């Protein structure tokens, strides 16, 4: 599969699943926009991709701010043109009992995991509709499919992203745009590194394959949805979880 001459935007691309996805898309031939709020790691990720012979540029964005997202979309078009592929991989959460949460915390979780991806999709969709082509891949979570202990608001936001994916897929299919969703299970990312070892051990034991996922394994699914092999697939939700969640 080749993504030569395709422009791919990957949010959260400075680390974790986002960075693995940016690397995989670049290796497939796409020009990758490393979109992240963290400037130094983002610049480093883009620089390392260029050093490996790929096309990549860092462009800053705060996915909790609609003003920042819209400014990002304008800068993207001015500097690089219109996106062919959008991967909403930025995400964040924190494990704690629901009743200990605060409105500020809830707002951040919902903005980053749900409202931000919607806002960026809206900003980039008109050009895709005009060209009658485009791929949007939203990175949700198995927490949004089955719920996750201590991640109630996060689960709700990710569940909203799943439903948004399906509804948007119905709206834009007539324009030749595919919208799909990848749901990672427990994955070995910087966020997972902050989880206590006893919790990670419990998660590993609950996974039929008896290990955490790797960011590259999630990236492989995203690359599939980004390429021509998924042209007749839209509105779908693919779990990459080692069998942890098996739902119809």
φ and ψ of 209, to 5 deg? -85, 0
**pLDDT tens digits along 163-216:** 999 999 999 999 999 999 999 988 777 777 767 777 778 778 888 888 887 999
Q: Is residue 235 part of a domain?
A: yes
The catalytically annotated residue of 154, 162, 165, 168 is: 154
Cα three-residue angle 47-51-54, rounded to 5 degrees? 90
Q: Is 175 a catalytic residue?
A: no
DSSP 244: S
226 assigned to some structural domain: yes
How large is the average pLDDT for residues 23-34? Answer: 98
* 178: in domain: yes
Confidence of residue 1 (pLDDT cuts 50, 70, 90): low
Q: Is residue 244 part of a domain?
A: no
CATH number at residue 151: 3.40.50.720
Domain that holds residue 25: 7-239
pLDDT of 248 reads 57
| pTM score of the predicted model | 0.93
**Could you say which DSSP state residue 237 is in?**
E
CB atoms within 10 A of CB 225: 23
For residue 214, being part of any structural domain is answered with yes
Q: Which two tokens stand for residue 229?
A: 């092999």
Domain count, the chain: 1
Q: 114 versus 212: which is more confidently predicted? A: 114
pLDDT score of 247 more than 70: no
Tell me whether residue 1 is in a domain. no
Q: Is residue 2 part of a domain?
A: no
Q: Let me know if residue 219 belongs to a domain.
A: yes
């Amino acid at each position: 599969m080749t993504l030569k001459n395709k422009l791919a935007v990957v949010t959260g691309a400075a680390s974790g699943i986002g960075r693995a996805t940016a690397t995989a898309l670049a290796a497939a031939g796409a020009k990758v926009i490393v979109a992240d709020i963290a400037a130094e790691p983002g610049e480093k990720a883009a620089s390392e991709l260029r050093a490996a012979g790929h096309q990549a540029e860092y462009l800053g964005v705060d996915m909790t701010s609609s003003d920042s997202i819209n400014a990002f979309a304008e800068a993207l078009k001015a500097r690089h043109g219109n996106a062919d592929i959008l991967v909403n991989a930025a995400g964040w959460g924190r494990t704690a009992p629901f009743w200990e949460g605060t409105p500020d915390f809830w707002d951040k979780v919902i903005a980053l995991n749900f409202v931000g991806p919607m806002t960026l999709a809206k900003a980039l969709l008109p050009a895709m509709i005009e060209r009658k082509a485009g791929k949007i891949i939203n990175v949700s979570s198995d927490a949004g499919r089955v719920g996750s202990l201590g991640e109630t608001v996060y689960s709700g936001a990710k569940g909203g992203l799943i439903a948004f994916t399906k509804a948007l897929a119905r709206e834009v299919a007539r324009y030749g745009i595919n919208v799909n969703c990848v749901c990672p299970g427990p994955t070995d990312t910087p966020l997972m590194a902050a989880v206590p070892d006893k919790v990670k051990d419990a998660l590993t034991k609950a996974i039929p394959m008896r290990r955490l996922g790797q960011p590259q394994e999630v990236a492989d699914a995203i690359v599939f949805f980004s390429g021509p092999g998924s042209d007749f697939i839209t509105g779908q939700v693919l779990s990459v979880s080692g069998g942890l969640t098996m739902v119809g």
